[in-house]
Amino acid sequence: MVRYDAYSMGNAVLINAYAPTEVASDNDKDIFYNELERLFDRIPKYNSKIMLRDINSEVGREEKYRPSIDKYSPHEKTNNNGERLITFAISRNLLVKRTYFEHKDKHKYT
């Protein structure tokens, strides 16, 4: 099941998404990202888009994913869901901002 909401606040749109977990089927993940892409593409280009998400992903620090990610991820390697998130970010010219800020180890996980 795909769950997401979009809230408009002037020229900013908040997208709250809950993605399938890593153990979900590839089909469920494909459906989620297809719907997320359709939602994202319906929002006017001039609006700022902010994703608040539980994407159930681990985004690592691999050099090949830069500049969409930076070096401050709590994870060393990117898992399948992380690759899907990065692919989506690259396709929509987005950044995974959580990887751009250094935090103490005890504050890196939720």
pLDDT tens for each residue of 61-110: 999 998 888 888 888 899 999 999 999 999 998 888 888 888 776 666 65
CA–CA distance, 66 with 73 (Å, rounded to integer): 12
Longest Cα separation, the chain: 38
Is residue 100 a contact partner of residue 68, using CB atoms and an 8 Å limit? no
Residue 40 has pLDDT above 80, yes or no: yes
**pLDDT over 70 percentage in the chain:** 86
pLDDT, greater one: 63 or 52: 63
Residue 49 φ then ψ, to 5°: -120, 125
Say which residues have a Cβ less than 8 Å from residue 7's Cβ, sequence separation at least 6: 13, 14, 16
Mean per-residue pLDDT over the chain, rounded: 85
pTM of the model: 0.81
Residue 20 has pLDDT above 80, yes or no: yes
Range of the domain at 11: 3-107
Q: How many domains does the chain have?
A: 1
Q: In terms of DSSP H, where are the helices of 19-108?
A: 26-42, 80-91
